[in-house]
Each structure stands twice: as structure tokens, then as C-alpha cells.
Amino acid sequence: MNHWLILPILLPAIVAPLLAMAVRHDIVLARVYSVGSTVLLVLIGLLQVWMASDGTTRTYSLGNWAAPFGIVLVLDRLAAIMLLLTAVLGLFVLLYAINGCDRRGRHFHALFQFQLMGLNGAFLTGDLFNLFVFFEVLLIASYGLMIHGGGAARTRAAIQYVVVNLVGSSLFLFALGLIYGVTGTLNMADLATKVPQVDSGNQALLYTGATLLLIVFGIKAAMVPLHFWLPGTYANAAGPVAALFSVMTKVGAYGIIRVFILAFGPQDSEQHWFIAEWLMPSAAVTLVLGMIGVVAARSLSQQSGFAALASMGTVMIAVAGFTPQTESAALYYLIHSTLAIAALFLVVDAVTIRRPGLGDALTSGPKFAHLGLIGSMFFVAVIAVAGMPPLSGFTGKLLILDATMGLRGWGWIWAVVLGTSLLAIISFASSGSMIFWKSTSVDGQFVAPQRPPIALPMVAIGSILAVLFLFTAFSPAVNQYLDATAEQLFDTHQYIRAVLGGEELASS
Amino acid sequence: MEHLIASAVAVMTAAGIYLTLSQGTFTIVMGLTLLTYATNLFLFTMGRLAANQPGIIFDPTAAHADPIPQALVLTAIVISFGMTALLLVMSVRGYFESDGDAVDLLGPEETVARNRQ
């Protein structure tokens, strides 16, 4: 058995309690542990992406219990990509947070590691109930991170966030109950073999369960009409936390890609009804509403929150196509938007801490420290978010447009994607000139209580932007990998064979 | 027994949703508690209702209770218990920080005004 598979869960699970108990009084040591663990996670992620590139699906049975009875971890290309993305994002966000943000509340580093553990577990697991448990792990950690730093506005936003997610968890359990009641299994591969065999009397129950599951993933992915929690949460969280959360919405997209392609397959038109009918319009409306929010926002962090919503809309438009081409494009844009939105949130945080009193409100104030450097970082990040050349947002949108061509209603999809890009460019240009350009003509200077550090935060943001540049430069190679990933996703038989062994072939 | 349990789940879910949609955090916490009770009861019945049946299977052909939903319910109870406790702590903190237990957000202007104070 391949023990590499469990390391992305085990490593943060060991480091986090150490951080919470052994080194909680020593911030320097905590930073060293936390960064060390995250660097290791990046290395493991690279190794796993390389391991998965040979196209085999590796499994790891926990406690050595065979698949439909025990819980399995499954590593295929999709899981490997998500693991690497999480680790890379985590590392840069952590480097940024070390500028002092991690000291504004207790246990930042421990919660951060638990968050990574939950995310990694959710990406690796091959069991629906285990997915629920890892969702809870990452949610509990995110509740803690959400209120990090405190303050009235943030606490209120956090309460909303917790309530929405608790309702989501209840729905998740209802969905699991229905699915288990009808099929008698919660293992994803086993479920994929059982769903076609469900007799017609129970199919309505099964579809109800599947729809509830879609709603749960929709809440996580912040799809209209389940998006209300996202802008407030992201705008009120501390900058680095919001940046880390940019991968949390992607967990919802991942869930839909994984479960609905595998078990409630798009190849079977009868089980396809609810996805095809609802997902695409909902995604398009998400994108439009997100961009309207970007135009109407009154502060930079609100604007970034709505940009995150819009980026989820773009990803979900591609996901809702449910063909190998669209899934490949969706994954490309998913990786791009996670990094771009994170960079944007970090830049916004850098602006906020330099304008005491005014914060990130969209009004021009006097000059603040490091105006030029932060301004140019903002410029690059916004080019990425809006999807302009030469960064990967442009390539990603091009891939999505190309993949959706010929789908039902593709004219509308093109109009929405292109129109919203224009809105993004206009509104980000206006807020950029308001904050950075006009500030040079206002007299006076912000006096921060202490001059905020510049080196490490700028290295962190710069590294994310550099990764985006590399991502764009190596697009052909990345695309090849993602195409293979999408192909592997739609070849559900090899996934089932890898998890359950050969026995399911006899029965099907 | 089916009618009793089905109506119990239905009533608790309805009451839970009603309370969750209210304005104050305390009633929301009550609503979520009811909702998780309903969830747990619902999960429990998913192994089918069977009274006085063994949960450990010695003879696969004989009638038995399904032990998996019970394990699932245990996990669900532990998680929902922890979550409710956390939410309570956060609501108390929110109550003291913002003078009241309303759940709606502050706008950016209000936030700036508060920061200036």
C-alpha cells in the first residue's frame, strides 16, 4: 500500500495540535513549524501530481478495511491537482500572514493547519460520509479563522457564515441519509455501481438526495441563489483569511465535479435532468450578480468578495457543461481564479493596513506608504482577475468560450462571459485610480502607528503573481495534464475498478 | 411508529427552519438545534425501523438492525453538538461587541465610523 496518500492529511493533523499546545507562547517557533509543514505539503503535492501523471488511480484503505466497507482515500489527477493548489496557496498566504496578522488573535497557525488538513481530506476521500466529516473539519477551522482579529462587524459576519454552513451541514446529512437509505452505501465508487440498479419506486428518493447534495455543494460554491453568505464573509474576514478562503468555494465545485460525474453520471440522460436544467443558468446568474456587485461595491474588500463570486460563476459555467472539454477548461480557470483572487485579497489587505481610519473604503485619501509598489501589484492582480491578456485569466476564459461553443444556449454564455469581463475592467480601473492614482494629488500623508513591514508580504504577493505568470507561460503543458484529468474523470469504470477491485465487473 | 417518527422529523424541521429565519442569534441557535435533532432522527431511520432486532449480524438471513446509521448518527451528534457550542460562544461575543443580537451586517461606512471612535 502506498502510504504517501495519507501524508497530506496526517502532516497538518500532527503539526496543528503541536502548534496549539506545545509552542503556543512562542510565535517565532510557531511560524517556523507552520511554514515548514506547509513547505512539506507543497513538496508532497508536487510528488503526488507527478505520481498521478501516469494515469493510474491509487487508493489507500484506512485500517486496511476493503473498499465498500472501510473508508478509502483515492488519489487521481484531479485530487493531486487540488492538493497542490491548496498547498501552494496555503504557503504564500502564510508567508503574507507572518507580517503580523497572525499575532492579532490566538491560534492562527493551528487553525490554519487544521484548515489545510480538512481541505486535503476533502480532496482525497472516496467516501461521502467521510467527505462530510472533512467538510466539518475545514469548516470548524474556518470559523476560527473567520473571527481571527475580532471586531463587531467581523463577528456578525462570522455568525452569518456559521449559521449558513450549519444549515448546509444539516442538508448534507439529510442527503446522505436519503442516499444511504436507497442504495445502502456511501462509498462513491460503490454508489456509482448501485445508482443504475435502483428500482423505479425508489428513484424519486434518490434524486431528492442527489438534489440536496447539489444544494450543499452549491452553498459551498456560492451559486445563486445560495450565494448570500459569500460577499459579507469575504469582505469582513482578515485579508490573509479571505485569501485562503478563495480555495474553499472551490471545494464545492470539486464536490460537484467529483460526485456528479462519477455517481449521478451525465452520460445517463435520465439522471442528468436536474444538473442540466439548473446548473448552467444558475452559474450564469452568479457571474452576472457577482460583476454587478463588483461595480456597485463601496470598498475594495467588498469588490474583491464579489469578484470571488463572479469567478465562481465562471468556473461553474464551465463545470455545468459536463463534457471532458468543459471540465478541463473549468479546472484551468479554477486554478487561475483561486490564485488571482487570493493575490487580490492580499493586496487589498496591504492597502487597508496602510490607511488607518479610511481602511479600504473606495474614497481617495492622502498618500500612504509604498504606494507605487502596492499599486503595481494591484494592477497585475486585477489584470488576472478581470481576465485580460497576458495573464492566465485571458487564456482561461478563452478555453471556456471554446469548450462551451455548440452547447445549448452558448450564445448567451458567450455574451455573459464577455460582457462581465468588460464590467470588471471598467470597475477595477475606476477603483484603482481612486485608491492609487488620485491619492497622489491629495495633500498630507497617512501616519501608521508603526510602519508596516514590506519585504515578506510583497514577496508573498509577488510569488502568487509569479506563479500566475508561469501558469500562463506553461499553458500547453498544463492543458495537456488537465485534458488527461478530464478524460480520467469521465472514465468512471477505471475509478470504480481501482477502488473496488475487479468484482464490480462481474455484477455490471 | 412510522407516522410518529415521520411527523416528528417534519415538525422539528419546520420549527427549526422557522426559527432559523428569525432576526436574533438566540432564536437562530434554537432553530439550528431543532434542525440538527430532526437530522439525527432522520438519519437514524434510514437503516429502516426495526424494534428488538440484533445490531450484530450472526446469521445474514435472519432479521437484523442496520448498525451503520447508528454510527453515522453518533458522528453527526458529536459534530452538531460542537458546532452549536461554538455558535453560542460566538453569539455571546457578538452580543457584547455590537450591543445587540441582530444578525444583519454593518455597511462599510458604519465600520469606518466604528473604527474612528
State the pLDDT at residue B104: 73
Name beta bridge partners: A60. A73
pLDDT band at B24 (very low <50, low <70, confident <90, very high): confident
The CATH number assigned to the domain with range B2-55+64-116 reads 1.10.287
State the pLDDT at residue A268: 57
Structural domain harbouring A461? 285-304+311-489
C-beta neighbour count of A186 within 10 angstroms: 20
* CA gap A304, A243 in Å, rounded: 10
Question: Based on the structure, what is the number of domains in chain A?
Answer: 1
Which residues in chain B touch residue A143, judged by CB atoms under 8 angstroms apart?
86, 90
- Closest to B69 in 3D by CA, of B43, B96, B101: B43
State the pLDDT at residue A190: 92
For residue B55, pLDDT beyond 80: no
Average pLDDT over residues A314-331: 92
Domain ranges of chain B: 2-55+64-116
Q: Is position A257 within any domain? A: no
Q: Is position A448 within any domain? A: yes
Percent of chain A with pLDDT over 70: 95
pLDDT band at A417 (very low <50, low <70, confident <90, very high): very high
Spatial contact of A350 and A369, defined as CB atoms under 8 Å apart: no
Going by the DSSP 8-state scheme, the letter that residue A433 receives in this structure is I
For residue A46, pLDDT beyond 90: yes
* CA gap B19, B13 in Å, rounded: 10
Peptide bond preceding A390: is omega within 30 degrees of 0, i.e. cis? yes
For residue A44, pLDDT beyond 90: yes
State the pLDDT at residue B47: 80
Cell 467521510 belongs to which residue? A130
Spatial contact of A353 and A451, defined as CB atoms under 8 Å apart: no
Task: Look at B35 and A167 and tell me if their CB atoms are within 8 Å.
Answer: yes
Task: Determine which of A1-5, A456-460, A495-499, B55-59 has the lowest per-residue pLDDT on average.
Answer: B55-59
Residue A178 touches chain B, beta carbons under 8 Å: yes
Min Cα–Cα distance to chain B from A435, Å: 16
pLDDT band at A505 (very low <50, low <70, confident <90, very high): very low
User: 3-class DSSP state for residue A75?
Assistant: strand
State the pLDDT at residue A444: 74
Average pLDDT over residues A224-242: 91
- Closest to A432 in 3D by CA, of A347, A320, A310: A347
Min Cα–Cα distance to chain A from B34, Å: 11
Min Cα–Cα distance to chain B from A213, Å: 14
Residue A299 touches chain B, beta carbons under 8 Å: yes
Q: pTM (2 decimals)?
A: 0.93
For residue A270, pLDDT beyond 90: no
Q: Is position A195 within any domain? A: no
- Using the CB atoms, write b or e for A25-40: b if 16+ within 10 Å: eeeeebbebbbebbeb
* Phi/psi at B24 (5° precision): -100, 150
Which residues in chain B touch residue A136, judged by CB atoms under 8 angstroms apart?
79, 83
Average pLDDT over residues B66-92: 89
Average pLDDT over residues A433-437: 89
Mutate to test the interface with B, among A156, A182, A355, A446 (most CBs of B within 10 A): A156
* CA gap A19, A26 in Å, rounded: 9
State the pLDDT at residue A400: 95
Task: Look at B104 and A156 and tell me if their CB atoms are within 8 Å.
Answer: yes
pLDDT band at B78 (very low <50, low <70, confident <90, very high): very high
**Chain B (44-63) residues lying within 8 Å, Cβ to Cβ, of chain A:** 45-48
Average pLDDT over residues A414-418: 94
For residue A507, pLDDT beyond 70: no
For residue A461, pLDDT beyond 60: yes
Which residues in chain B touch residue A180, judged by CB atoms under 8 angstroms apart?
46, 68-69, 72
State the pLDDT at residue B113: 57
Alpha helices in A387-454 (DSSP H): 392-404, 410-432
Spatial contact of A207 and A274, defined as CB atoms under 8 Å apart: yes
* CA gap B64, B59 in Å, rounded: 9
Alpha helices in A1-106 (DSSP H): 7-21, 27-52, 77-97
Grid cell at residue A460: 508573498
C-beta neighbour count of A162 within 10 angstroms: 26
Q: Is position A142 within any domain? A: no
Task: Look at B82 and A232 and tell me if their CB atoms are within 8 Å.
Answer: no
* Phi/psi at A390 (5° precision): -100, 15
* CA gap B66, B46 in Å, rounded: 9
Q: Tell me what ipTM this predicted complex has.
A: 0.89
